[in-house]
Amino acid sequence: MRIGFDNDKYIQMQSQKILQRIEKFGDKLYLEFGGKLFDDYHASRVVPGFLPDTKINMLRELKDSAEIILAIHAGDIERNKIRNDIDIAYDREVLRLIDAFTSRGFYVSGVVITRYRENQPAVDKFAENLERLGMRVYRHYPIEGYPKNPKFIVSDEGFGKNDFIETTHPLVVVTAPGPGSGKLAVCLSQIYQEFRRGVRAGYAKFETFPVWNLPLNHPVNLAYEAATIDLDDMNMIDPFHLEAYGVSTVNYNRDVESFPVLNTIFTHIYGQSPYKSPTDMGVNMIGYCITDEDAVKHAAEQEIIRRYYQAACEAKRGRIDKEQVYKAEFIMSRAGLTQSDRPVVAAAVGKAEETGKAAMAIELPDGRLITGKTGSLVGPSAGALINALKALAGINPEIDLIAPIILEPIRKLKTEHFGSENPLLHSDELLYALSICAATNPTADLAVKQLPKLKGCEAHSSVMLTRADISVYRRLGINLTMEPIRSGNRMYM
């Protein structure tokens, strides 16, 4: 993968920009932090060179000035909402984030449960668990007419009814396990209550995407739309910024639609609004740190296609409706792309047609396309992995790195003792076997040593894979897509 982003420059520029915004307000800044602070794999795929933990590393530059508030929507706890990229429920993700912050030396002020109502057993149990672990829990309540009744919102019966979060640092980062958690409302509630206590607190927004100073239909910004089809987000020119400054900048519909209301709330709190546009509120510097435009465009285009396949498979599983697939397909067409612009697709589908069975393809860093087919002992994802490792190590593809005499007992263990109906070995099972062989077989050891080189590679399957295989590819850092076809017409995947 070609690097197209200066990560060190970004960390320096971004932390400086946040410090400048703190100085603008004087006492305290509430920073609504959109996107993922940890494990931002979308950003690292779309802007190659941007590391998954870049944003938290940037915040470490401000660690002595910062503290963290985590927000979670009560309804997301009740619905057991899942963060799909790492397959973890939002309530457990809050616990993981607390550990991640504290292990890096950040102070976590507490957890805010937003839109809290009485008689929510799962929510109350979650709060009790947090308190038992020593974490402060605050409750913010639904406000009638929010956000379109600013006079009531900015009152004792509106924001004034919420629990006030005691903070001690000049920078308060408000983040969440995912979108729709109520971060903005938490910031505004705190600003109002701080103002009542004589503290002039400011607000700013950090969103990685869309990138305000890239063109509206730049592949990076279209990839953001493709990633948020479930939120109905749509990039658009910020009309308030254009009117105020005569400069075209990119924002998205939710911020543009809510800005007049937000501006009115600011005016009710401060007497006048500190911002003239949604773009003014942001502090994102990512657009200034792109070093290779072509590399970034190519990476973003691949992400757009990947998001289409992800939507198609999620619809096949019944998790989303077809409307979202149509949106993903429309975004792909706006970018001038088709499935054929992803080379591994044709390679995997072609191998499946040739063999009459499920197949897999992996594109190596040098552009070679390596395929794997369904065998007598292994599935296509495992077969493609072993073939890719051989290719990377320069091992003759005809050499068996793992003797069938070793694989057969594992297969019997699966079917006869663990009750598995699928006799074919998954990717993780094959890699465990390969690692054992590597202890006595130098050629197998050479293959194992190639595993880090798979990070950032592209892969495609002619059928939908099992969770076990998907997990292995994810952990190896391989960008996986799949045809929305159930293997063997199985209902459960």
DSSP state of 413: I
CATH superfamily of 343-489: Domain of unknown function (DUF1846), C-terminal subdomain (3.40.140.40)
In whole angstroms, give the CA distance from residue 92 to residue 35. 17
Q: How many CA atoms lie within 13 A of 124 on its CB side?
A: 5
Pairwise CA distance, residues 258 & 182, whole Å: 14
Q: How far apart are CA 318 and CA 322, in angstroms?
A: 9
**What is the model's pLDDT at position 491?**
47
Which residue, chain included where needed, has tokens 């050499």?
399
Dig out the tokens for 288 from the structure: 């200034």
Q: Is 419 helix (H, G, I), strand (E, B) or coil?
A: coil
> What pLDDT is stored for residue 489 in this prediction?
54
Written as six digits, the tokens of 169 are 């640092």
Measured torsion, CA atoms of residues 103, 109, 115, 118, in degrees rounded to the nearest 10: 100
**Which residues neighbour 199 within 8 Å (Cβ) at sequence distance 6 or greater?**
27, 28
Q: How many CA atoms lie within 13 A of 272 on its CB side?
A: 2
pTM comes to 0.90
Instruction: Supply the pLDDT for residue 490.
Output: 57
Query: What pLDDT shows up at residue 460?
Result: 98
Determine how many CB atoms are found less than 10 A away from the CB of residue 254: 16
The confidence score (pLDDT) of residue 488 equals: 62
d(CA 271, CA 276): 14
Alpha-carbon gap, residue 488 to 336, rounded angstroms: 33
Phi, psi of 374 (to 5 degrees): -75, 120
Q: Where are the alpha helices (DSSP H) in 104-182?
A: 121-132, 150-153
Contacts of 466 (CB under 8 A, 6+ apart): 422, 426, 493
What tokens were used for 315? 């619809």
CA–CA separation, 481 vs 484, rounded Å?
A: 9
7-289 matches 343-489 in fold: no
pLDDT for position 13: 96
pLDDT in tens, the chain (493 residues): 789 999 999 999 999 999 999 998 877 999 999 878 888 899 999 999 999 999 999 999 999 999 999 999 999 999 888 887 677 889 999 999 999 999 999 999 999 999 999 889 999 999 999 999 999 999 999 998 887 788 888 899 999 999 999 999 999 999 999 888 999 999 999 999 999 999 989 999 998 999 999 999 999 999 999 999 988 889 999 999 999 999 999 999 988 988 888 888 888 888 889 999 999 999 999 999 999 999 999 999 999 999 999 999 999 999 899 999 999 999 999 999 999 999 999 999 999 999 999 999 999 999 999 999 998 888 999 999 999 999 999 999 999 898 888 888 888 888 877 877 777 888 999 999 999 999 999 999 999 999 999 999 999 999 999 988 999 999 999 999 999 998 765 544 4
Report helix, strand or coil for 364: coil
Peptide bond into 343 cis (omega under 30): no
Q: What is the CATH number of domain 7-289?
A: 3.10.630.10
User: What is the torsional sign of CA 163, 169, 171, 177?
Assistant: negative
> How far apart are the C-alpha atoms of 85 and 261, rounded to whole Å?
33
Domain locations in the chain? 7-289, 343-489
